[in-house]
């Protein structure tokens, strides 16, 4: 990727794959969210069955300097259960829509996980010692016969096999009529927001019985509804600023100091429509599926159906950069509308900083990554303007072999090794990807498998 000499480009290698091997995908195993914690040591996934699986990176082996630590299962727990709303006679899915980690304050780890209606704060803690030598109890817990107790002793902690426990510390419920699509922790680390299709609420992490509504776009008459909220995020540094995106391709930046209900935006980011590309599908493909601030907060990235756009917060009338993810799909929009793929919500992410290459940095937020179909995912280097398409597949993937770039042939004669648009498998979609905050390690989720790739060191 990097310009100074070809040898400094990132070469991605397969590292690990997690999940079932067979093609028959169990519905509950479908991965619905992927997120690294702030140090990158932990990697959490949520699935359609309401489970959270956390992987932990092994400490780097000093003797094996050519590879970074592997990720192994650290904790698995059932975060959400299916519920039934009796009033509406509808099921509430247990699918985990988003996971967000809190920065670590003590020995325990905390994360927020949410389904369509309820957000939960989970504490993940390790236990590797236990007290032994009670006065009144045997080691197995049975009470001793009091007459046999003749001495007094103080229990001592003795080591035990590591146990990782997850316990729900807070449950934030009953605040959303519509389906929650985003949660975002504020830079004050005390509050967070949750956004559904029509409203955004502000919570305090300690308080579960109350939340403040800060955005409400529900019209008085539902008949007038033409736009919904699709994603929301707090600014990484300004604790009073957040953005939310809409199904019409707009992003609104709001300042909570302006008023209690932030219905009037401070800034409105919208790119004027290209009249030459206008079709009945224009609005649908402009709907933003994800929004992510850059680390500095100066830029934000949005993902719509066909492209990734980088916006400068100082310029509202158009993005500063646009990257086409799979432009070859533009002529297939009708079919994609028919089979509902046009409504797929792809996420996007920035690269972190690469501490391994401190002498020739991959500056943070210089590369963006997003998924596509056929288990392809794409990366765009903002500096070199080069892009690459890679595939997450078990075939031909041995550890430390460099991934071969893929290419889709849009039209005309297909070259060897290219794949034609009509051969793409639209069932194999990569919606969720995550980039390690400090190293060139990426986690890519296919339907039910989690792939981990790292760059080839040396």
CA dihedral 90, 76, 441, 301 (to 10 degrees): 30
Q: What sign for the dihedral angle of Cα 302, 304, 306, 311?
A: negative
- C-alpha 261/C-alpha 190 separation (Å) is 20
CB contact set of 413 (below 8 Å; sequence gap of 6+): none
Q: Which two tokens stand for residue 302?
A: 């949005």
Q: Which two tokens stand for residue 354?
A: 């690469």
Backbone phi, psi, residue 41, to 5°: -75, -30
Nearest Cα to Cα of residue 184 among 209, 211, 202, 166: 202
Between strands 407-409 and 418-420, the pairing is parallel
Render the burial of 3-26: b for 16+ CB within 10 Å, e for the rest. eeeeeeebebbbbbbbbeeeeebe
Q: Does residue 211 sit in helix, strand or coil?
A: strand
Strands of the sheet containing 441-445, edge to edge, are: 12-18, 450-455, 441-445, 432-435
Upper half-sphere CA count for residue 384 (Cβ side, 13 Å): 18
- C-alpha 124/C-alpha 24 separation (Å) is 32
Q: Which secondary structure element, helix H or strand E, spans residue 172, and what is its range? A: strand 156-172
CA distances from residue 261 to 201, 255, 267, 412 in whole angstroms, order as listed: 10, 10, 15, 54
Which residues of the shown chain bind other proteins in the complex (CB under 8 A)? 87-91, 93, 116, 178-179, 197-198, 221-223, 225-228, 230, 247, 279-281, 283-284, 287, 331-341, 343, 411, 421-427
Which DSSP state fits 280? T
Residue corresponding to tokens 């776009």: 217
Nearest Cα to Cα of residue 455 among 386, 323, 352, 385: 352
Q: Which two tokens stand for residue 241?
A: 């600023």
- C-alpha 346/C-alpha 348 separation (Å) is 7
Q: Which two tokens stand for residue 78?
A: 């059932």
DSSP per position, 313-380: TT--SS-SEEEES-GGGGGGHHHHHHTTGGG----EEE----GGGTTS---TTSEEEEE-BTTEEEEE
């Amino acid at each position: 990727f990097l310009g100074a000499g070809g040898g400094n480009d990132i070469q991605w290698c397969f590292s690990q794959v997690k999940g079932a091997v067979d093609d028959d995908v169990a519905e509950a195993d479908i991965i619905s969210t992927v997120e690294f914690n702030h140090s990158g040591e932990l990697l959490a996934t949520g699935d359609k069955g309401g489970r959270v699986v956390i992987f932990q990176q092994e400490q780097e082996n000093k003797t094996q300097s050519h590879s970074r630590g592997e990720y192994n299962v650290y904790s698995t727990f059932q975060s959400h259960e299916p519920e039934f709303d009796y009033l509406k006679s509808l099921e509430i899915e247990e699918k985990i829509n988003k996971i967000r980690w809190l920065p670590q304050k003590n020995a325990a780890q905390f994360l927020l996980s949410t389904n369509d209606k309820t957000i939960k704060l989970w504490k993940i803690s390790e236990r590797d010692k236990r007290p032994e030598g009670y006065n009144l109890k045997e080691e197995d817990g049975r009470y001793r016969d009091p007459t046999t107790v003749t001495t007094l002793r103080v229990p001592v902690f003795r080591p035990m096999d590591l146990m990782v426990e997850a316990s729900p510390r807070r449950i934030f419920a009953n605040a959303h009529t519509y389906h929650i699509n985003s949660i975002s922790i504020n830079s004050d680390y005390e509050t967070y927001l949750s956004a559904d299709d029509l409203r955004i609420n502000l919570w305090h992490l300690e308080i579960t019985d109350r939340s403040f509504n800060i955005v409400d776009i529900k019209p008085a008459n539902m008949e007038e509804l033409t736009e919904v909220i699709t994603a929301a995020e707090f600014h990484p540094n300004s604790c009073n600023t957040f953005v939310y995106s809409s199904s019409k391709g707009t992003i609104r930046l709001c300042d909570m100091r302006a008023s209690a209900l932030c219905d009037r935006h401070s800034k409105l980011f919208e790119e004027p429509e290209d009249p030459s590309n206008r079709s009945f599908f224009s609005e649908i493909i402009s709907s933003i599926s994800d929004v992510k601030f850059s680390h500095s907060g100066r830029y934000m990235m949005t993902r719509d159906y066909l492209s990734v756009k980088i916006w400068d917060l100082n310029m509202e009338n158009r993005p500063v950069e646009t990257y086409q993810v799979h432009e070859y799909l533009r002529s297939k929009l009708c079919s994609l509308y028919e089979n509902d793929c046009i409504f797929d919500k792809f996420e996007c992410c920035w690269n972190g900083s690469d501490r391994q290459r401190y002498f020739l940095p991959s500056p943070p937020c210089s590369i963006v990554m997003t998924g596509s179909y056929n288990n392809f995912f794409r990366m765009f280097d903002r500096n070199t303007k080069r892009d690459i398409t890679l595939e997450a597949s078990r075939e031909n993937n041995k550890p430390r072999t460099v991934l071969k770039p893929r290419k889709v042939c849009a039209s005309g004669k297909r070259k060897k090794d290219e794949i034609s648009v009509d051969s793409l498998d639209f069932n194999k979609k990569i919606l969720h990807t995550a980039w390690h905050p400090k190293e060139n390690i990426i986690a890519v989720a296919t339907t039910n498998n989690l792939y981990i790739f790292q760059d080839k060191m040396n």
